[in-house]
Structure 1
Amino acid sequence: MFFFLLIGVLLTLSSTSWFSAWAGLELNLLAFIPLITSKNNLYHSESALSYFLIQALGSALLIFSASLLLINTSFFLLIISISLFLKMGAAPFHFWFPKIMEGLNWPQTFILMTIQKLAPMFLISYLSFNFLCSSLISLITTLSAIVGALGGLNQTKLRKLMAFSSINHMAWMFSAILMNHSSWILYFTFYFFMTFSIIILFFHLKTFFFTQLLNLSTTPLYLKMSLSISLLSLGGLPPFSGFFPKWLLIQEMISYKHYFFLFILLTSALITLYFYLRMLYPLMVLSVPQMKKKNLSLKSPLPLQTTTTFLNLFCLLMPSMFFLL
């Protein structure tokens, strides 16, 4: 099913017509539903049904827009953009995204936050040349930055918090689409690896709630440092790798004189960094005695720690690499 999911993404990316793009999106949807319905998920049937209904609504809007092509081309592109934003879960069409994230395991949440957004994001970048579509992208950028930052403040569930974090990062990608298409691809690549470094640690530690972070106080220090570095990197704190794409986007926004978007995005980035620090506080400061035996799977995290540390500190090596070249 994962292979067919990737085939659906590649079909959408390589399509030359909207019909083949729609076929790729449908193949991607039908391949992801069996991945959701895993017996290890507590609410697998509810999440699968909700995801199917939302994606079916987005596909119906995309097909409905084909009939509008005979009437008004701009309105046709506008309806297509709305259907793609609904499929991605961007604000204000984000109502389904945190709820479905809550009913998934960490591997499925990683696919939903990264791979499932790739095909609709590419199609949105194709529509950014239209004036109405670019205006809608600007509005969605502002709303996604605000909703993604404020929605994660009072969350005690890590999966919902990562969902609002993904909505906030989508705002940065939308702003990059308005300026330079290669910039959003670079940002998405870094976001993919930063999210992978966090999700694999949460999956290894089997943590889903803030209260479970208190139980990690007795875990080895190097494992807690890896999680801390990954969270700070996703928040965009220098000198970690997550700061590099944001730094490039800040420079481009200044050159394009998008000061309003830059103010909104930087303010939202500070708020998201705040709730990342909330996750680190019980992990690094508080100490809770444990009466239970330690999990034996935590005794050999060397490949895991090495991978996450390299991904989050890769940009520190880049100046030396350029010096060697």
Structure 2
Amino acid sequence: MVIFSFCRLSPAFVMFASLSVFGVLMVLFSGGVLGVWVGLECSFMGVVCMLSGDSVEENESCMKYFVFQSIGSMLMIVGFMFLIEGGPLAMGWFFLFFGLCAKMGLFPFHYWVPSVMGGCSWFGCFIVSVWQKVGPMCFLANCGISFELSYVMEVVAVVTGLLGGVGGIGLLYYRALLGYSSLVHSGWMVMAAMAPFGVMVTYLVVYSVVSGTLMYRLFLSKLMCFVDFCNISHHRVSSLYLIFMDFVSLAGLPPLPGFVPKVVVLSFLWPVFSLSLGMLIGASLLSLYYYLTAATVAAVGSGINSYMVLNAAKKTGDFELGWVWNGSLLLGGLAFLWAYIVVA
């Protein structure tokens, strides 16, 4: 029932979610650019319907998302027309790539992501930060990037990551904070799109699991900003350590699962894009800084100690289940990393 409340499960939700999934599958298996564009539009329309909600803030965020996705769709269809009709290829790829930037929230269209996520529900934040990137990223990884376009992608990825790392410093609300964190990971995923397709898929899957788990725990704990830690019940403080572990994993701190995809990207692309990847590592360190700031404020503001956490956890039974889940993720990440090192 809690999961149903998290995603607002209803017949309409199932229909629009199916439309969005159909659009992503159409992008993956389409043999032409027109099919890709139609698939992206189907996914876009399904996501827009899932983002709308009961509050004014949610509907406002939905309208912002609709506007920028429409701009991206317009740029992409112009780029496809140049490519199909035999126009200048450079102009066609220019419109196409910047249309993808508008859809995914990359530089120079990055500013809508924190604004939209700041007003969405937690499930809407997951949709914007993870699901709406699947189709464009898969197309970007499969489209055959030219030598000239790779330099443009490199600049866009680095600037997006740095803006995400700097923009999150000093924020109080977690949804906007995760919006800037999404920009950092978007920069990493754009770089991963220039590696083999499996590298980008690995990064996207790990990021979706870690961020989805974090957002679900924040939803259960009813934590929206730093101030909420001062009023948290001691019966729910057992989840704080797990939330902090998810935050740190999202920043890519070893040996947590979020560190694994970054290692894979570095192993493939470091000889070619060493400077850009070094700057993205710096952006991840900036995101780690504001995650640790959140942990410090929470520990001081809630005034809890280990005895109270363990005592409350034993009564609710959440401690064992939560740590089993996080431990499984950690061991899975270490096993994947070890297998990757052995095979490579």
| TM more than 0.5 | yes
CA distance in 2, matches of 1:142, 1:320: 28
| Deviations, residues 258-315 of structure 1 (Å, cap 9, x unaligned) | 22112201111111100110111123344349xxxxxxxx946465554345334532
- Equivalent position of 1:223 in the other structure: 239
Whole-angstrom distance in 2 between the partners of 1:275 and 1:166 = 14
Describe the shift of the 1:232–1:62 C-alpha distance in structure 2 as closer, same or farther (beyond 3 A): same
CA contact (8 A) 2:141 2:200 kept: no
1:223 and 1:120, CA in 2 relative to 1: closer, same or farther beyond 3 A?
same
Q: How far apart, CA to CA, are the structure 1 residues paired with 2:71 and 2:126? A: 23
Alignment partner, residue 292 of structure 1:
none
Call closer, same or farther: CA 1:305–1:43 in 2, change over 3 Å. farther
User: In the alignment, what sits opposite 2:212?
Assistant: 196
The residue aligned with 2:129 is: 113
Distance 1:65 1:197, change over 3 A: same
Report the equivalent of 1:293: none
CA offsets 1:87-132 (integer angstroms, 9 cap, x no match): 0001221121111111110011101111110101111123452123
2:63 aligned to which of 49, 56, 59: 49
Could you tell me whether the CA contact under 8 Å between 1:61 and 1:83 is conserved in 2? Answer: yes
Q: State which of 50, 58, 61 in structure 1 corresponds to 2:72.
A: 58
Following superposition, the deviation at residue 44 of structure 1 comes to: 2.3
Q: Is 2:328 aligned against 1:310? A: yes
Structure 2: 5+ residue stretches without partners: 1-15, 305-314
Q: Distance in 1 between matches of 2:327 and 2:167?
A: 28
Q: Deviations over 1:208-262 (max 9, x none)?
A: 11211333373455312211211111111111111111122222233x2422112
Matches within 5 A, 1:72-83: 72-83=88-99
Contact 1:230 1:312 in 2 (8 A): no
Please give the alpha-carbon distance, in whole angstroms, between the structure 2 residues aligned to 1:229 and 1:81.
35
SS at match of 1:179: coil
Measure the CA separation in 1 of the matches of 2:80 and 2:17: 30
| Equivalent residue letter for 1:27 | C
* Aligned with residue 275 of structure 2, among 260, 274, 281: 260
CA contact (8 A) 1:229 1:309 kept: no
Give the secondary-structure state (helix, strand or coil) at the position aligned to 1:5.
helix
- Whether 1:13 and 2:28 are equivalent positions in the alignment is yes
Name the count of aligned residue pairs. Answer: 313
SS of 2:302's equivalent?
A: coil
**Following the alignment from structure 1 to structure 2, what is the Cα–Cα distance between the partners of residues 141 and 128?**
17
C-alpha distance in 2, partners of 1:165/1:149?
A: 7
The aligned residue for residue 43 of structure 2 is 28
Distance change >3 Å, CA 320–CA 108, structure 1 → 2? same
Task: Report the equivalent of 2:308.
Answer: none
Tell me the distance in 2 between the aligned counterparts of 1:28 and 1:204.
28
Name the structure 1 match of 2:266.
250
Distance in 2 (CA, whole Å) between partners of 1:230 and 1:77 is: 37
* Equivalent position SS for 2:193: helix
2:3 corresponding residue in structure 1: none
Q: Specify whether residues 196 and 8 from structure 1 end up closer, same or farther in structure 2 by C-alpha distance, changes over 3 A only.
A: same
Q: In the alignment, is the contact (CA less than 8 A) between 1:229 and 1:312 conserved in 2? A: no
Letter in 1 for 2:333: C
CA distance in 2, matches of 1:103, 1:76: 34
Q: 1:181 to 1:53 in 2, by over 3 A?
A: same
Aligned pairs for 1:294-309 within 5 A = 299=316, 301=318, 303=321, 306-309=324-327
- Aligned equivalent of 1:232: 248
What do you get for the CA RMSD once the two structures are aligned? 2.4
Change (3 A) 1:288 1:58: same
> In structure 1, how many angstroms separate the alpha carbons of the residues matched to 2:337 and 2:34?
45
1:251-290 → structure 2 map (5 Å cutoff): 251-254=267-270, 256-288=271-303
- TM-score when normalising by structure 1: 0.88
Match of 2:5 in 1: none
1:82 to partner: Cα distance: 0.6
In the alignment, the residues of structure 1 paired with residue 274 and residue 178 of structure 2 have an alpha-carbon distance, to the nearest angstrom, of: 27
CA distance in 2, matches of 1:128, 1:139: 18
Match for 2:162 among 138, 142, 146? 146
Q: Which letter maps to 2:33?
A: W
Displacement of 1:158:
0.6
